[in-house]
Amino acid sequence: MTSDKTYRRHITPTVTVKDIARLSSTSPSTVSRVLTGAVPVADDKREAVLKAIEAAGYRPNLVARSLKTKSTRSLGLIINDILNPFYGALARGVEDRVSTDGYTVMFCNTNESPERELRSISMLRDKAVDGVIMAPTGSNFEAMDSLIKSGTPLIQLDRRMPNLDAGSVTVDNERGGYIAAQHLLAGGHRRIGFITYEIHQMTVAQREVGCKQALAEAGIGDYPVSSMLFDLSDATAAVESLFAGDNAPTALIAANNRIALAALRVLKQLKVNVPNDLAFVVFDDLEIFELMHPSLTDISQPAYEMGCKAAEFLLAQLGPNGDAVSRHQVYLPELIVRESSLRN
């Protein structure tokens, strides 16, 4: 049987800031300055401290540090659909940018559920994150406003609640819908369908508004024919409904990339040829769209850049000068024309 004395010999002793100071021939305050980065340290002393930290395997007590500095060096990111590559690119932009400043990111996926979003906001508040970036569902204004008033900076990403006193990074979605419809109109199409979600989403609703504006300007008042699906499992019924009557569309706009892929599967089953029978335009630009046959015409959004910009806005509020101005960035979408909207 192992004695307590023998057992204690196998326990790795905790390395402290004082130990690092002794090993690096510096002071504990110098070690703290190197760890926090709050105050410049001479290069030779900084190098000595970093070498001592590596040699001793020192890991700072983040809990103790957060109590002292009132900063956890962690941020929250609330997104709507982790399976959507668009949100993956947003998240990567956020994480790449904040990691250069020594922050970690806690990810939350709402799956477009206001209830899950509310729980995510509450959890991040309990975890005392330094700031939050989120794509709001549009249903939890009070919780978001309360978070801001409690002193936690918040940046809206991809979607914006205009009455909320928080910065935002978005795309001009109405413009995107408008240029998508304009492109199809220029190709001679007058019956343009729009496939979207039944549940309200700010972005896709704005895209449909832009589409309708372009058609109205062209003197077309009874289109687009909108077909809505509650989730992707409803894609078959939604697409079939568009072709049920005699006034079937000759062109179709899909509100986002996941809807587009679901719709294309159904069109293949229905033996609808794209682009000869039906021109097709999709929101979001994925690498696979260029490789598909036919390649897909899309409305491109700078997702990664948007994530980086949202992170910059949040870091500015967390900086030593505490940028208190709510900054807003609106990116313009870009039409990328490929085979799916061009008749052979």
Q: Which domain holds residue 290?
A: 173-301+335-341
Question: For position 181, what pLDDT does the model report?
Answer: 96
Residues 185 and 286 in one domain: yes
| Same domain flag for 296 and 307 | no
Give the CATH number, domain containing residue 151: 3.40.50.2300
| 83 part of a folded domain | yes
CB contact at 8 A, 129 and 107: no
CATH number of the domain to which 34 belongs = 1.10.260.40
Q: What is the rounded CA–CA span in Å between residue 255 and residue 206? A: 10
305-332 exposure pattern, b = at least 16 Cβ within 10 A, e = fewer:
ebbbbbbbbbbbbbeeeeeeebbebebe
Q: Within this chain, do residues 284 and 208 fall inside the same structural domain, yes or no?
A: yes
* Rounded-to-integer distance, Cα 8 and Cα 338, Å: 69
Q: Residue 255 in contact with residue 208, Cβ under 8 Å?
A: yes
pLDDT at 280: 97
**Same domain membership, residue 45 and residue 33:** yes
Q: Which of 308, 307, 297, 306 is nearest to 334 (CA)?
A: 297
Beta bridge partners of 227: 195
The Cα-based distances of 279 to 116, 203, 204, 307, 343 in angstroms read 37, 22, 19, 31, 7
Q: Are 178 and 271 found together in one domain?
A: yes
What residue type is 297 in one-letter code?
Answer: T
| Residue 50 within a domain | yes
Instruction: Please check whether residues 82 and 167 belong to one and the same domain.
Output: yes
Residues 43 and 120 in one domain: no
For the chain, the domain total comes to: 3
- Strand order of the β-sheet with 192-197 is 225-229, 192-197, 251-254, 279-283, 297-300, 334-336
Q: pLDDT in tens for each of the 344 residues of the chain?
A: 444 444 344 444 577 888 888 889 999 888 877 776 656 788 888 889 888 888 887 766 554 554 455 667 899 999 998 888 999 999 999 999 999 888 999 999 998 899 999 999 999 998 889 999 999 998 999 999 999 999 999 999 999 998 999 999 999 999 999 999 999 999 999 999 998 876 667 898 899 999 999 999 999 977 777 766 656 677 788 888 888 878 889 999 999 898 899 899 989 988 999 999 999 999 999 999 999 999 999 999 999 999 999 999 999 999 777 666 678 999 999 999 999 999 76
Q: Quick one: 191 and 164 in the same domain?
A: no
Same domain as 135, residue 231: no
User: Does the bond joining 28 to the residue before it have cis omega, within 30 degrees of 0?
Assistant: no
- Do 293 and 186 belong to one domain? yes
Residue 66 belongs to some domain of the structure? no
